[in-house]
Structure 1
Amino acid sequence: MANVSEIFGCNVFNETVMQERLPKNTFKALKKTMAEGKELSRDIADVVAAAMKDWAVEKGATHYTHWFQPMTGITAEKHDAFISPSADGKVILEFSGKELIKGEPDASSFPSGGLRATFEARGYTTWDPTSYAFVKDDTLYIPTAFGSYGGEVLDKKTPLLRSMEALNKQAIRILNKFGKSVTRVTTTVGPEQEYFLVDKEMYAKRKDLILTGRTLFGAKPAKGQELEDHYFGNIRTRVSEYMKDLDNELWKLGILAKTKHNEVAPAQHELAPIFGTTNIATDHNQLTMEMMKKVAERHGLVCLLHEKPFAGVNGSGKHNNWSMSTSEGENLLEPGKSPKDNTQFLLFLAAVIKAVDEYADLLRVSVASAGNDHRLGANEAPPAIISMFLGDELTNILECIEKGEAVSETARCFMETGVSALPRFVKDTTDRNRTSPFAFTGNKFEFRSLGSSVSISGPNIVLNTSVAEVLEEFADRLDAATDLEAEVMAIVKETMKDHKRVIFNGNNYSDEWVEEAERRGLLNLKTSVDAIPRFGMEKSIKLFEKHGIFTATEVKSRCEILLEGYAKTINIEALTMLDMAQKEILPAVLKYNKEVFETLKVKQELGLNVSVEKEVSYATKLSNLTESLMSKIEELDKVLLEAKNYEDALESAKYYREYVFEAMQTLRVVADELETMVASVAWPFPTYVDLLFYV
């Protein structure tokens, strides 16, 4: 068994390694960059590069790569060897500060939303010294930002770092008003990751899983998740071995994998890490998803990160636990023992409330995808309506402030079990609400709407930027105030009056809430196609331009990328569906039809004095469904051909949603009913029982 303290971070060029291998002045300069965002000189970079190379080579590395996060939502890498030719015809291993700082990958083949033409290929990657380098697969991985030759941002890391800078600037202004001198304010995130595991051999027989990550066909099994016996249940041996292996690999990379358990759906599980600085947490989550897939292969399994791999059971999300902390270790969303008297906390809380209400549409866009549309609002994930849960205690405090009433202290209660042997402990002052999209959970907010495959950078860019915008407004007011305490209370009171509509502590899954949210004027952007265009609205552009996150052109390009990505996803799914229906399901069903009718014919020809009414009814239903299947295949094929006529990204996405997706749904209904009639041995690929209940 691995010694966790020994293996943790063993493949990471972390502070311990830096301190051992770098000269004191170099280490001090690099630490200042990491803590305060100060630029490194080329001389310092040369020293760091040499030490980094020596360390990596000792770990078995032969190559290095600038590891970046393009708009695909996954990571990208181009590997270069450390070798350089020497005069004696051999090679030496070299790595310079220039190579550490800058790389030049092709920028024309990644999504750019029109920012890059095919012939405009030059792009640059730039070292992010705030995120640790690491060794994996005999390669030194260097976290980097990615941009075009013309300076346009082509990645997810650069705007994330910019949004963190924007929030840092405004939060420090606020804290200065409270008499605090802090070096830096960073946002922190702990992203919980849900996933499915399926048997590799079964997976290999499902073209839909291979090409789209989800099952496009599949009848509901006799047992699903209704017994609620899988959630937090005993972990199967095969899965437990996988989880142990995964933990070890993540720990080696310095990833603080903390919690693991079975999730609600059969074959579904979850991994949760300890909080980290947002940009590092983003890097770590990308690595976590990659390692989940790689480690699964060792165990004869496949890890599915699609938001809805199986119809009829819960899909997978990713809970983005977000907070703000100072470099001195203070959590700005910690209420303290007496929240009503903690004016600093109340001000930061008010800023989040206002930001979530005013920029709810951007938060919705940040979690938009074709896969996530299957989850949101399906009584397994929060609805597409963005609202906040604060709990009774905080809501009561804010309502009293709004009304100008005295706030009473909430009594601390002990948990009474009725069993004397069990220890007593103080209960939390409020319950949790797992139906809320944006829930306060003690000293952080849990943004629960993210899909399992999404990069957490997008949601955190929106969160950081929108909160920075509100903090700037609050800081400006405090600058002009003569009575700090009175002005803070005035701000909190106004925030509640203008934005309390976004606070909802009830059941977000209920139909009543949908109606109530509409009365409150909250947006219900049910699909990605409804949501994405709002990212390009003037209000959004103004916000991002003001804080230096995106230019107007970059905002519009991201709208284009999201819409194109949606249409392409549905197109791939539809083509896969057609292929499976035409080449696998239809031949199997026709063959089974033949067997049924031949059996019926033999029985009728024998002239036995027995009724064949039931057999005729069964055969008729089978034949009618087969006919319907062929008809639905033709309909899907027809609407897919028509889709080629739409060149505008928004119109194309709308067409795919309204016509192609709907045609896919109707085809699936018929195919799934046929699955319930055709003999198991005759069905062409593994069923839900095979996939979800493997040994």
Structure 2
Amino acid sequence: MKELIEAECCIPALTPPDYFGESVFNDTEMRTRLSKSTYESLKKTIDIGEAIDTSIADEVATVMKQWAVEKGATHYTHWFMPLTNTTAEKHDSFIEVTADGQVIMNFSGKALTLGEPDASSFPSGGLRETARARGYTAWDCTSPAFVKEHTLYIPTAFFSYGGEILDNKAPLLRSVEVLSKQGLRVLRALGNTTSKRIVSTVGPEQEYFLVDKKYYEKRLDLMMTGRTLFGAPSPKSQELDDHYFGILKTRIVEFMHDLDIELWKLGVSAKTKHNEVAPGQHELAVIFNRSSEAADNNMLVMEMCRKVAERHGMVCLLHEKPFAGVNGSGKHINWSLATDDGKNLLDPSDDPSKNAQFLVFLAATLKAVDEYADLLRLSVATAANDHRLGASEAPPAIISAFIGEELDLMVDDLLAGRAYHPTDRNQTNLGVKTISLCTVDKTDRNRTSPFAFTGNKFEFRMCGSSMNIASPCYTLNTVVAETLSEAADILEKATDPDAEAHRYFVDTVRAHRRIIFNGNNYSPEWPKEAERRGLPNRHNTVEAVSALKDSKNVAVFEKMHVLTPKETESRGEIILENYAKQIGIEARTALDMVTREITPAVVDYVYDLTQITYQQMALNVKETGVRNILSTFNNYIDQLYNATEDLKKAEARAQELTDTEEQARFYCYEVLPCMSKLREIVDSIEPLVPENRWPLPSYVDLMFRV
């Protein structure tokens, strides 16, 4: 036995290169298994956006099926992103019954390229009638297929019988194409004749909380809504800043290790992991990828976070604000533009003032962010994210852009007609000989900005942790494509493109300089300054959706061929529907918890206090402490009853409303305040009740006992 153990210890462990992407039908598998002509044809579509040759579908399907079966797959699914903020899948087996009653494994090109799920139960925002149920899924070959849990997953776009888009993937793919088209026009005008395609690259940073499953299952609010509707503050939370980048608990280390392995097998380049600011909060960041594939990968990240956590007896909370009083969770989207031949179009180089390409793409991006700030705000609007934005751990609902000290100095000089002289980067070893000389960046980072330039990319920090990044990505791609098209119109007529690029930069930035803010977006002065600048401040989702009443916001999607006006308007309708439904679920959950758990527990405890008071009176004890406590509880019970009744009435009234916008507004401005009042009372009562008498796990249990 000893020899066996020693022999096993000598077996080298597998390292990530041994299994990274082993469950993905990636470039290596395609190049090895497909015929040369089919592989080259497919690669042209994936890499440079050429129209797909449908004649290769049968060969690709046969090879993909064989590879998947070798990986243990028995089924396939067209994996898509309906407008539910989640993914959807319908599993079909590969088997076909033969004439002699046997089965064979078969998968045709038609089955690969086109599926037909039922579309009737997915949100459409009025695009189709309920009775019109037919829907289709179309293969997205730019995002690789993969095997998971004995099924071949095929990324797809989802649309209706009438051709209307019903998902987030199709507009993302359209936005990628139009961004490439307009960006290439700019590059050609500036003399670039070699680049064949431009893509937006994205690296999401996923934040999440972990809680022990046994406590989660005792909290109806967490199970139904993803956040705690009640909960008194913990004696200690995040005020000591000791959780951020702190030592990982052993249980968390094991979870994160298993999560990395699962993601690496699926070809997801999980890179960075650490504790976040709030107790029980963590982050996982992945390496940049093309935005369409990055969107797929992030959906896998969220799914694997949940599944791996369950294996470890925990639950992963992806809600933007699961706990009041501590930081919520976001998903920072690091967005940039790159060519197929490896050029980062947002790389400023040593002297950005002489980099015409950078100047044009920077100015176009800033213009897009200013002109379409309402759309960018809308792209991250949810009931959950409303709790996070502006709550001192996330930027407010005001769009602005941070460009840093170096670029701000350059802007000052160029707008004043002065020559810009780049500054050298500082170097330091902190005065310690044993520390190597370190070169620091030319500008600091701004973690309070919603749209911050960080060296060669922008960090869009408003996206919520539970959201599908496809929506903010296709919105950003679309509006930048629009401003690039305007820049191309100017540059294509220029006799001196470089000089015209500089003029374009100066004119554009001067016209849109209000969007640049390098200060503290968390400060109370900033909203006032933003209002003075004329920047919109859409405080909540209901107000954010009103952006679609501005015709230019609908027109830009139509002009760039990303969404039709009806498709755009339907998305606003769906956002309001989901908002009302989510707040409605929260209200009914709060009522259920108060009526069936909290009030009975409080009344039982008050009854015991009453019995003590009777005993004291019978013994002629003149002690007043218990009576004072009892008086306090009686007052709280009255308040609890009244607040519960107010919420019941408000929720009932909301349910009677049939107009989507009116109902959403009522939930926002009438129901939510009733919920807040009820929470205030419950949270005041909780610290007065003994721990063993309170029916809910506390914030200490949830955030510290993991």
User: TM-score under structure 1 normalisation?
Assistant: 0.99
Question: Deviations for 1:650-682, whole angstroms, at most 9, x for unmatched residues?
Answer: 111110000101100000000011101111100
Indicate if the aligned counterparts of 2:68 and 2:147 stay in contact, CA closer than 8 A.
yes
Report the CA distance between 1:40 and its aligned residue. 2.9
Indicate if the aligned counterparts of 2:127 and 2:164 stay in contact, CA closer than 8 A.
yes
Question: Deviations for 1:529-561, whole angstroms, at most 9, x for unmatched residues?
Answer: 111121343111110110111111111110100
Indicate if the aligned counterparts of 1:536 and 1:556 stay in contact, CA closer than 8 A.
no
- Structure 1 match to 2:464: 451
Report the CA distance between 1:399 and its aligned residue. 1.7
Q: Among residues 204, 212, 220, which one is paired with 1:191 in the alignment? A: 204
Q: Among residues 379, 389, 396, which one is paired with 1:383 in the alignment? A: 396
Quote the Cα distance in structure 1 between the aligned partners of 2:422 and 2:666: 55
- Structure 1 match to 2:81: 69
Report the CA distance between 1:115 and its aligned residue. 1.0
Quote the Cα distance in structure 1 between the aligned partners of 2:85 and 2:129: 20
Quote the Cα distance in structure 1 between the aligned partners of 2:390 and 2:590: 25
Deviating above 2 A after TM superposition, structure 1's stretches of 4 or more consecutive aligned residues are 36-43, 611-615
Q: Among residues 138, 141, 151, which one is paired with 2:153 in the alignment? A: 141
Quote the Cα distance in structure 2 between the aligned partners of 1:99 and 1:57: 16
- Structure 1 match to 2:658: 647
Quote the Cα distance in structure 2 between the aligned partners of 1:686 and 1:2: 41
Give ranges in structure 1 of 5+ residues lacking alignment.
Answer: none
Quote the Cα distance in structure 2 between the aligned partners of 1:478 and 1:423: 46
- Structure 2 match to 1:347: 360
Report the CA distance between 1:603 and its aligned residue. 1.5
2:643 maps to a residue whose letter is K
Indicate if the aligned counterparts of 2:79 and 2:87 stay in contact, CA closer than 8 A.
yes
- Structure 2 match to 1:57: 69
Quote the Cα distance in structure 2 between the aligned partners of 1:19 and 1:503: 47
Q: Among residues 125, 130, 133, which one is paired with 1:113 in the alignment? A: 125
Quote the Cα distance in structure 2 between the aligned partners of 1:59 and 1:411: 54
Tell whether 2:249 aligns with 1:216.
no
1:400 maps to a residue whose letter is D
Indicate if the aligned counterparts of 2:263 and 2:270 stay in contact, CA closer than 8 A.
yes
Quote the Cα distance in structure 1 between the aligned partners of 2:655 and 2:458: 43
- Structure 1 match to 2:33: 21
Quote the Cα distance in structure 2 between the aligned partners of 1:655 and 1:416: 59
Tell whether 2:589 aligns with 1:576.
yes
Report the CA distance between 1:41 and its aligned residue. 3.1
Q: Among residues 517, 520, 529, which one is paired with 1:516 in the alignment? A: 529
1:125 match: secondary structure: strand
Q: Any residues of structure 2 matched to 1:317-396 within 5 Å, and which?
A: 317-396=330-409
Indicate if the aligned counterparts of 1:107 and 1:122 stay in contact, CA closer than 8 A.
yes
Question: Deviations for 1:231-285, whole angstroms, at most 9, x for unmatched residues?
Answer: 0000000011000000000000000000000000000000000000000000000
Tell whether 2:140 aligns with 1:128.
yes
- Structure 1 match to 2:416: 403
Quote the Cα distance in structure 2 between the aligned partners of 1:239 and 1:86: 50
Quote the Cα distance in structure 2 between the aligned partners of 1:452 and 1:527: 17
Give ranges in structure 2 of 5+ residues lacking alignment.
Answer: 1-12
Quote the Cα distance in structure 2 between the aligned partners of 1:444 and 1:290: 27
Q: Among residues 427, 434, 440, which one is paired with 1:421 in the alignment? A: 434
Q: Which piece of structure 1 moves more, 400-409 or 557-566?
A: 400-409
1:206 maps to a residue whose letter is R
- Structure 2 match to 1:200: 213
1:225 maps to a residue whose letter is Q
Tell whether 2:325 aligns with 1:312.
yes
Quote the Cα distance in structure 2 between the aligned partners of 1:79 and 1:278: 26
Quote the Cα distance in structure 2 between the aligned partners of 1:51 and 1:486: 53
1:648 maps to a residue whose letter is D
1:364 maps to a residue whose letter is R
Indicate if the aligned counterparts of 1:82 and 1:95 stay in contact, CA closer than 8 A.
yes
Quote the Cα distance in structure 1 between the aligned partners of 2:628 and 2:543: 45
1:371 match: secondary structure: helix
Indicate if the aligned counterparts of 1:161 and 1:279 stay in contact, CA closer than 8 A.
yes
Q: Which piece of structure 1 moves more, 385-394 or 643-652?
A: 643-652
1:417 maps to a residue whose letter is L
Question: Deviations for 1:79-113, whole angstroms, at most 9, x for unmatched residues?
Answer: 00000011221100000000000000001100000
Indicate if the aligned counterparts of 2:190 and 2:498 stay in contact, CA closer than 8 A.
no
- Structure 2 match to 1:39: 51
Quote the Cα distance in structure 2 between the aligned partners of 1:51 and 1:499: 52
- Structure 1 match to 2:671: 660
Q: Any residues of structure 2 matched to 1:202-351 within 5 Å, and which?
A: 202-351=215-364
- Determine what percentage of the aligned residue pairs are the same residue: 56
Report the CA distance between 1:614 and its aligned residue. 2.5
- Structure 2 match to 1:687: 698
Report the CA distance between 1:329 and its aligned residue. 0.4
2:211 match: secondary structure: strand
- Structure 2 match to 1:620: 631
2:340 maps to a residue whose letter is S
Report the CA distance between 1:76 and its aligned residue. 0.2
Quote the Cα distance in structure 2 between the aligned partners of 1:167 and 1:154: 21
Quote the Cα distance in structure 2 between the aligned partners of 1:522 and 1:300: 46
Report the CA distance between 1:2 and its aligned residue. 3.6
2:295 match: secondary structure: helix
Quote the Cα distance in structure 2 between the aligned partners of 1:378 and 1:101: 45
Quote the Cα distance in structure 2 between the aligned partners of 1:622 and 1:311: 24
1:458 match: secondary structure: helix
Question: Deviations for 1:394-450, whole angstroms, at most 9, x for unmatched residues?
Answer: 011012111111212212211341211111111100000000000000000000011
2:342 match: secondary structure: coil
2:69 maps to a residue whose letter is V
Aligned residues: 693
Report the CA distance between 1:166 and its aligned residue. 0.9
- Structure 1 match to 2:572: 559
Q: Which piece of structure 1 moves more, 620-629 or 34-43?
A: 34-43
Indicate if the aligned counterparts of 1:536 and 1:559 stay in contact, CA closer than 8 A.
no
